[in-house]
Amino acid sequence: MQVTRGLFLIFGLLFLFFPSLSNWLFETDAAWYRPHVFAAALVIVSYLLQLERSSDEL
C-alpha cells in the first residue's frame, strides 16, 4: 500500500502540533462543534488531495 505525500504531511503536522491543537479543540468555553469542524476539514483536505491522483494510480 502506497502512502500519499499529502496524508504523510497531515500526519506529520498533527504529530507536531497535537499538544496545542488538543488544548484548542477541547477548551471548556469553546463551541461544542469545534472538534467536528476540524474533523470535517481533515476529510475535505484528504479528499482534495486524492483528486490530484490519476485514475490508474488508484
Q: Quick: pLDDT tens for 17-38.
A: 888 888 888 888 878 888 898 8
pLDDT of 1: 47
Assign 3 to helix, strand or coil: coil
pLDDT tier at 57, thresholds 50, 70, 90 = low
CB atoms within 10 A of CB 49: 15
* Chain CA centroid to CA 37, Å: 11
Q: What is the CA radius of gyration of the chain?
A: 14
pLDDT at 7 over 50: yes
Mean pLDDT of the chain: 79
Query: CA–CA separation, 45 vs 50, rounded Å?
Result: 9
